[in-house]
A = this chain, B = another copy of it.
Amino acid sequence: MDIYISKVSERLNLEKEVIKNAIDRKVISLCKYKNKRYIIFKKKVRHIERGTVLFLNKEMDVVMGYPKIRRALVLDPTVKKYFIDKVVVEEKLNGYNVRVVYIEDEVLAITRGGRICPFTTKKVLKLLNTDILKDHPEVMLCGEMIGLNNPYVSHYYPEVDMKIYEDENVVIKENLGLYIFDVKDREKNTPLSVEDRNRLLEEYNVPYVKPLGVFKKEDVEEIKNIVLKLNSEGREGIVLKDPNMMVDPIKYTTHYTHCQDLSVAFRYTFDLGIHFMFSRLIREGYQSYEFNEGKEELERRAVSIGKSIVYPMVESIREVSRGKLITEDFELYFESEEDTEEFFKYLREVHISYVVKEREVLKNGICRVVIGKVYPSTKDKIKSYLDGSLW
């Protein structure tokens, strides 16, 4: 790897010492996807975002990481203070962040952390018109992969149901879609304006996130109404953008999503981390305050939070007490057995421990697989306390 240090240093404008140090401390790691070798940044180092990828090819192609989007705890006055004049409101989807790029004549899908994911890469080829990248190889399409049938964030979206199999007894639908929210220069991380992004994506008929409106930054009440509507529809929240992307986007999420997150956090009690749950509870406090809730609304909120915490936690304890393994299950569809195996190999490489719960080949050759992601701390700690360990 040493032979690359000066090249990487020059390419990313980072001192050699910084790179050496990052390698020693395992902040930079070396990965491989088919015949492509690349390094990824596992944390933000100076100006290089977490998830940045540098390919060890002749051009030393760079794909910058997708930066963290900061959050408003109250829309008013945050929106008024933060934005310049106008605000574009877009829907925030609840899936996983993907950057789609074109490197050495190949379309690749990179996860937030910087891995080329074989599952996502293959799906992207089917979900997108990739001519856009062939014509504009300098851009990355940043988007959200959503739906039930992916291996990371499984959440049903009715708009992405696709029939993939049918016989006299059964119709099978894959629930999966990709919506682009940013088009950026993949080396400089500079985004297109909202208008330019829309124009380009429409030209190639690439699906992008729903624009929910453009407002004067003073019109916070209208933005609040959008949040209420999304909440009632069980949607995640909004991302607020400057029309010209002059300031970074910020985000705001619904009560529905906070409760969903809490349920997940308390099902995998000892794995998901207490900061995850604490932050959701804090968001609820500010939201209730900002939406000026009366006695009844506040009580309804308290009840749904309490249930989101207690029900999944008690259910997990009960499952462990019955000897069940606590897993998060994902139902996935692959084109072939080979693709399935390739993806299992990838999971082992990224150290995700999983069990295969179901596996079948449909008559049309599609492989249906259910994997269970294992939460080891939850399993071990719950069991240990049930067996009489002291806290």
Contact = CB atoms under 8 A, between A and B. Distances in A.
A73 interface: yes
Contact of A301 (B78, B275, B284, B310): B310
A84 interface: no
B310 A82 contact: no
Contact of A74 (B286, B307, B313, B385): B385
Contacts of A275: 274
A304 B304 CA distance: 11
A321 B77 CA distance: 12
A391 B73 contact: yes
B250 A269 contact: no
Interface residues of A, number: 51
A285 interface: yes
B77 A387 contact: yes
Contacts of A158: none
B310 A391 contact: no
A250 B266 CA distance: 26
Contact of A277 (B278, B285, B387): B278
Interface in A264-309: 266, 269, 274-275, 277-279, 281-282, 284-286, 288-289, 293, 298-299, 301-307, 309
A278 B5 CA distance: 44
Interface string A48-92: 000000000000000000000011111001101110000000000
Contacts of A277: 278
A391 B285 contact: no
A314 interface: yes
Contacts of A73: 385-386, 389, 391
Nearest to A317: B289
A183 to B, nearest CB: 24
Given A269-B285, A305-B306, 16 more contacts: A73-B391, A82-B388, A82-B390, A269-B282, A274-B274, A279-B391, A281-B313, A284-B310, A286-B385, A289-B317, A298-B311, A298-B314, A299-B307, A302-B307, A304-B306, A306-B306
